[in-house]
Amino acid sequence: MRLILAAIVACLSVPALAQQAPGRPNNVVLFVADGLRAGMVNEKNAPAMTALMQRGVRFTNTHSLFPTFTTANASAMATGHYLGDTGDFSNNIYVGFPLKAVGDSPIAPLENNKVLAEVNEKLGDFLNEETILKLARAAGFSTAALGKLGPALIFDHTERSGTGTIVFDDATGHSAGIPLSDEVRQRLTAAQLPLETPRAKVVNIEQQAYLTAVATRVLLPMFKERGKPFLMVFWSRDPDTSQHGQTDGPNRLLPGINGPSSLAAIRNADDSLARLLDGLKEQGLDGTTDVILTSDHGFSTISKESATSPSATQTYKGVPEGQVPPGFVAIDLAQALGMTLYDPSARNAPVAPGAYPSRNGSLLGDDPAQPKVVVVGNGGSNLIYLPTPDKALAARIVEFLSGQDYTSGLFVADALGRIPGTLPLSAIGLEGAAVTPRPAIVVNFRSFSTGCADPTTCGVSVADTSLKQGQGMHGSFSRADTRNAMGAAGPSFRQKTESSAPVSNADLGRTIAHLLGLKGADRGKLVGRVLTEALPGSTGPMPLVQSSVLRSEPDARGNVTVLVTQRADATVYFDTAGYPGRTLGLPHDARR
């Protein structure tokens, strides 16, 4: 792994009037189009994004980190570290202590400012690594994060005064929002903009129009007046929000996330980027600002069908006959293990037959205060915790899950030893310096495509969620979920370049720190790399890229968990994983 390098000076090709002072870094805008699939970025769907990639760098070999969830990948972008170091294993994690913000449940939904505050209060900096916004703020830069609740704050989550990093998210203007400084409030009023963020909708046009207005009419002029370099993160809720919530084909896999609502959401995100680019130009900042585009993950259409799940044979209110309910993994495991199922979001009440957990977590055992198993649902993959490590219990859980048609690959904590049919968490970057509890087992769900020219744009995944079949989700090890969109343009980047070297969201954190001359103290060793091949000042060769396949030993049913990776120099990238034939992008013959 590489160390963070020194700052890059302004590119000589920048017009003389727009050049930065010698030694001063360029500004950086990180634009995250939540849930944007790489194969959907073209001149028809996303003209502004396409134009940015055409004039700068288009990365064609891209990677979201698994589990492919929002806050998890936000932590990677923010720190340059893999999830084994940040401990942000998914949007919902088990923390092992009660959280007042969610009714004393030990399940932390990290897309929640109050929950983030409580987790930090208990654990200190819960990510256990310094973020790029924190480092930039400490170095005297102007800093801001705008957009989706949760990931926006994660970029500087320990600074909540509003006088340092400026945060606008869904909670701005409400009790859970980060306060705004008097200066920002006065500028909002002068710009005739509300002090409260509009609510998210499908399609999320109003909220994003407000946030882009804040960025272009308030923050960019203010940052220009300060005369200091700035780092701004803009986390666009769309297309994610609309792809999750669309109802273009109720309970059907087609059109799934390729209906009119989803296409409108992609254009909405593209319009937000276009307005930001126009705002930079209007302020005369376009020649001294690098704009980096990424998405936290890809996306898939939800399937709720299973021919093996015990829960699918029961009847639940609001769940079509034969489909699995929310929390189906916990329901199935409780039956298989002969344990009582408790709902931590309902004051640990037992879950009655024909009911399902009310939110994203379940406690299994005789005493909910001391559960033997904790199941945390997230979507395309689940986390299973064993508060008291138990190798025999882990083996029983694996044996049951490997027999379910919704399972496609299992990963087990290294401390539990080798279990046939599974791979260790260390193989996928989930064993590191994290201070949050580490899951004992990570369950990847089955995925496939509905059939199209680019299967990663029409992927389907079984999902443990309250959303319905035919709506959208992510989180799996499908290539439809791990393949994200990524590009960059500006004075620090090459022009008109396609880069085929593997890249990930963790690399972006490393690269932004490099561009701004920021250097933090790494606690963990699971780090991304600086994307020197995309920078014009680099004289070195493209990184040496090697591909490999890791296979578990087969279990009693013959199931083998297979992991396909790439390595660029010393950095590992995860393409796809699961049982051959059950994960989109994983070759059927990968078992051998």
Query: Distance between CA 450 and CA 460 in Å, rounded?
Result: 7
5 pLDDT band (50/70/90 cuts)?
very low
Q: Where are the alpha helices (DSSP H) in 233-371?
A: 240-245, 260-282, 328-337
Rg (CA), the chain: 23
Query: Distance between CA 89 and CA 107 in Å, rounded?
Result: 12
3-state helix, strand, coil in the chain (%, to 5): 30, 20, 45
Q: What is the CATH number of domain 16-88+127-298+483-534?
A: 3.40.720.10
**DSSP state, residue 545:** E
Going by C-beta distance under 8 Å and a sequence separation of 6 or more, which residues neighbour residue 387?
96, 370, 371, 372, 374, 437
Digit-coded pLDDT (tens) for 416-429:
999 999 999 999 99
Share of the chain above pLDDT 70, in %: 95
Residue extents of the structural domains in the chain: 16-88+127-298+483-534, 302-449
Annotate 119-158 with DSSP letters as a single string.
Answer: HHHHHSSTT-S--HHHHHHHTT-EEEEEESTTHHHHTTTT
Residue 540 is predicted with a pLDDT of 60
- Region 218-242: what's the mean pLDDT? 98
- Nearest alpha-carbon partner for 504 in 48, 81, 9, 15: 81
pTM: 0.95
Query: Distance between CA 552 and CA 579 in Å, rounded?
Result: 10
32 burial type by CB count under 10 A (0-12 exposed, 13-18 middle, 19+ buried): buried
Digit-coded pLDDT (tens) for 170-197:
999 999 999 999 999 999 999 999 999 9
Please check whether residue 456 is in contact with residue 37, taking contact to mean a CB–CB distance below 8 angstroms: yes
Query: Distance between CA 492 and CA 340 in Å, rounded?
Result: 57
Digit-coded pLDDT (tens) for 84-108:
999 999 999 999 999 999 999 999 9
In the predicted model, is pLDDT for residue 321 greater than 70? yes
17 pLDDT band (50/70/90 cuts)?
very low
Share of the chain above pLDDT 90, in %: 94
Digit-coded pLDDT (tens) for 422-448:
999 999 999 999 999 999 999 999 999
591 pLDDT band (50/70/90 cuts)?
low
In the predicted model, is pLDDT for residue 111 greater than 70? yes
Instruction: Give the torsion sign (CA, 232, 520, 141, 534).
Output: negative
In the predicted model, is pLDDT for residue 20 greater than 90? no
- Region 274-301: what's the mean pLDDT? 98
- Region 394-417: what's the mean pLDDT? 98
Annotate 398-428 with DSSP letters as a single string.
Answer: HHHHTTSTTEEEEEE-GGG---TTEEEGGGG
32 bridge partner residues: 235, 294
